[in-house]
């Protein structure tokens, strides 16, 4: 009888194991910052990207890129640029990106859709009619979108290439966007460089005061500040002592925002390989960042900022580049940054946006 009892026990273990009970995989992270398409609106089919996510990535904030790179034959001849650094020709807003993202999302089965949170990006933040575009997209595609962004105000080498008016943090059009996002419950993901490229060390960042003022004017709008304000050549602000007055460094600036009671609605994403290099440059920088995140673990999210990755290896590379930082965090903080905060913010956004959509259907 020993043999049959062993077989029965093994069967019972298998029957009640999580894998057999239909529980989801233990994903490594959720992605708060992902571009399905590139600067010429090309990218993988969403079904292929779902396979790329595999069992590594649980949920993804899904958006395209609102800007299209012009292929000017006079500028680059037969060379077809696919990135904003490939050509001197201008960028222009490509509003169809939102319809494309919606169509990709709606092509999925309901269970597959649950892993995505599409975002509206195809609007010009310098246009007072931008809010009308956002409202129209929500009405045409109810049940799809949970946020807006990533949209850009100041970005190195990008802002100056955009045809038409230059966006500004003090533009009433931007305030209208934030007001509407707060009313509806849309998570707002904004790219705003904290400073100009190649800024003088020790000086206050050029855009910091304006950005803080914008955020303070919209306390009802859940806002994620992409890359903590950093970029390819916009480096972390260095502390200095000019004229005997100490200017705060990047850690102090971010800490000040996190501790400001007027800015409890503001979050930061850790994303982009061009930013990862600052966090893992030395053991000291990694430790300083980890200490800040540990203290304010509820206010950071991770995003890859990958653009139309062709395979899983490419998709996961930014996550892996941040590995020295993940190792410095406690298990609880790491879980919040990689998954918990995403799920908390986007679950609430789904609830609020769906409720707003119902009021519009009456």
pLDDT along the chain (362 residues), means of 10: 44 41 81 97 97 98 95 93 90 96 98 98 97 98 98 90 89 98 98 90 89 98 96 82 59 96 98 92 94 98 97 97 97 98 98 97 72
Burial class from Cβ neighbours inside 10 Å (0-12, 13-18, 19+) for residue 245 reads exposed
What is the pTM assigned to this prediction? Answer: 0.91
Length of the chain: 362
| Token pair belonging to 16 | 């009640």
Q: What is the pLDDT of residue 247?
A: 58
Q: What is the pLDDT of residue 47?
A: 98
Q: What is the pLDDT of residue 220?
A: 98
Structural domains present in the chain: 25-361 (3.20.20.140)
Q: CA 270, CA 305: separation in Å to the nearest integer?
A: 9
In sequence order, what are the residues at sequence separation of 6 or more whose Cβ sits closer than 8 angstroms to the Cβ of residue 292?
Answer: 251, 254, 255, 258
**How many CA atoms within 13 Å lie on the side-chain side of 85?**
4
Q: What is the pLDDT of residue 15?
A: 40
Q: CA 80, CA 70: separation in Å to the nearest integer?
A: 9
Q: What is the pLDDT of residue 11?
A: 39
Sign of the four-CA dihedral 198, 202, 206, 208:
positive
List the beta bridge partners of residue 241.
Answer: 246
The helix or strand, by DSSP H or E, that contains position 360, with its residue range, turns out to be: helix 341-361
């Amino acid at each position: 009888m020993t043999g049959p009892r062993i077989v029965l026990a093994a069967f019972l273990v298998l029957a009640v194991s999580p894998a057999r009970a239909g529980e989801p995989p233990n994903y490594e992270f959720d992605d708060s910052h992902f571009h399905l398409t590139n600067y010429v609106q090309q990218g993988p089919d969403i079904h292929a990207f779902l396979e790329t996510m595999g069992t590594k990535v649980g949920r993804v904030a899904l958006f395209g890129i609102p800007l299209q790179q012009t292929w000017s034959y006079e500028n680059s001849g037969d060379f077809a640029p696919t990135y904003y650094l490939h050509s001197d020709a201008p960028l222009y807003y490509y509003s169809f990106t939102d319809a494309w993202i919606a169509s990709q999302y709606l092509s999925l089965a309901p269970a597959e859709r649950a892993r995505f949170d599409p975002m509206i990006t195809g609007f010009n933040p310098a246009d007072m009619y931008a809010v009308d575009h956002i409202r129209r997209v929500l009405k045409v595609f109810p049940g799809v979108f949970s946020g807006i962004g990533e949209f850009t105000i100041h970005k190195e080498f990008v802002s100056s290439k955009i045809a038409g008016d230059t966006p500004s943090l003090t533009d009433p059009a931007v305030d209208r966007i934030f007001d509407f996002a707060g009313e509806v419950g849309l998570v707002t993901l904004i790219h705003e460089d904290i400073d100009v490229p190649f800024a003088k060390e020790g000086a206050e960042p050029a855009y910091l005061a304006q950005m803080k003022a914008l955020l303070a004017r919209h306390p009802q709008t859940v806002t994620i500040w992409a890359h903590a304000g950093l970029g390819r050549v916009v480096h972390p602000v260095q502390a200095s002592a000019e004229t005997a007055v100490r200017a705060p460094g990047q850690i102090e600036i971010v800490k000040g925002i996190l501790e400001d009671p007027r800015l409890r609605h503001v979050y930061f994403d850790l994303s982009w390989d061009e930013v990862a290099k600052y966090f893992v440059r030395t053991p000291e920088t990694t430790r300083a960042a980890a200490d800040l995140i540990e203290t304010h673990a509820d206010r950071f999210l991770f995003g890859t900022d990958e653009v139309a990755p062709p395979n899983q290896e490419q998709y996961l590379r930014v996550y892996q580049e941040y590995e020295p930082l993940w190792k410095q965090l406690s298990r609880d903080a790491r879980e919040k940054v990689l998954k918990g905060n995403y799920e908390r913010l986007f679950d609430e956004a789904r609830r609020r946006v769906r409720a707003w959509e119902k009021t519009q259907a009456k």
